[in-house]
Chain A
Amino acid sequence: KAGVTQTPRYLIKTRGQQVTLSCSPISGHRSVSWYQQTPGQGLQFLFEYFSETQRNKGNFPGRFSGRQFSNSRSEMNVSTLELGDSALYLCASSVRSTSGANVLTFGAGSRLTVL
């Protein structure tokens, strides 16, 4: 069965631009969560969506937003890009998020470089 698919895998933007990243979860998984990974801060939780609703949000500015569609696919958007937004953005899916036993399956990530 197909894994978690993230697109694009690599992209380069300039400061002030905006970017949209896409995540297709494993079929049947309804929970999608997003993470930012940088060398300095490690893996940080961005937000989680379940049934098209944001269920939790990490400590990131409002420039970071996301949404989930009825087919569970999710997108995240970063507006007014800053140099510090350069990172690997990871998406993970699970069957549902209310059970601690549910395993997260991660995608390979989208590597964003902001110049």
Chain B
Amino acid sequence: DAKTTQPNSMESNEEEPVHLPCNHSTISGTDYIHWYRQLPSQGPEYVIHGLTSNVNNRMASLAIAEDRKSSTLILHRATLRDAAVYYCILRGNSGGYQKVTFGTGTKLQVIP
């Protein structure tokens, strides 16, 4: 199973940008990189995903390294509501069915 590695925790000041890194050195050519976040007492929610090119949506941006062995989730202006555990996972596109492996995630603390 493809695995990801993330820092256990990070801190950010409110209204400042946050860069959350993820290493996925065993990524295969057809794996998509997904980011989800989990707020306290809730199920994870989708943030963003990409394959090779950088991606932007209303929540965040995803920067993918050229060799695809790492990626960075960028929150442009952190708010208190962004305090959550952020998970980076890989989802295959091989035509088969894959287990989804979650790492330990990064707990983001936003300081007012």
Contacts of A42 in B (CB 8 A): 102-105
Which B residue sits closest to A45, measured CB to CB?
B99
Q: How far is the CA of A87 from the CA of B36 in the complex (A)?
A: 20
B112 within 8 A of A: no
Known: A42-B104, A106-B45, A108-B43. A56 touches B99 (CB 8 A): yes
Task: Confirm or deny: A105 has a beta carbon within 8 angstroms of a beta carbon on chain B.
Answer: yes
What's the minimum C-beta distance from A58 to chain B, rounded to whole angstroms?
A: 6
- CB-CB nearest in chain A for B33: A100
> In the complex, what distance in Å separates the CA atom of A45 from the CA atom of B87?
14
Interface residues on B, range: 20 to 34
SS class, residues of chain B in contact with chain A: loop
Is B93 interfacial (CB-CB < 8 Å)? Answer: yes
User: Knowing A43-B87, A100-B32, A103-B49 touch, does A50 contact B97 (C-beta < 8 A)?
Assistant: yes
Binding site for A on B (CB under 8 A): 30-32, 34, 36, 42-46, 49, 51, 87, 90-105
Interface set of A (CB-CB < 8 Å, partner B): 4, 33, 35, 42-45, 48, 50, 55-56, 58, 90, 92, 97-109
A43-B87, A105-B46, A106-B36 known; 17 new pairs, CB 8 Å cut-off, are A42-B102, A43-B44, A48-B100, A55-B97, A56-B98, A56-B99, A100-B30, A100-B32, A100-B90, A100-B93, A101-B32, A101-B51, A104-B36, A106-B44, A106-B45, A107-B43, A108-B42
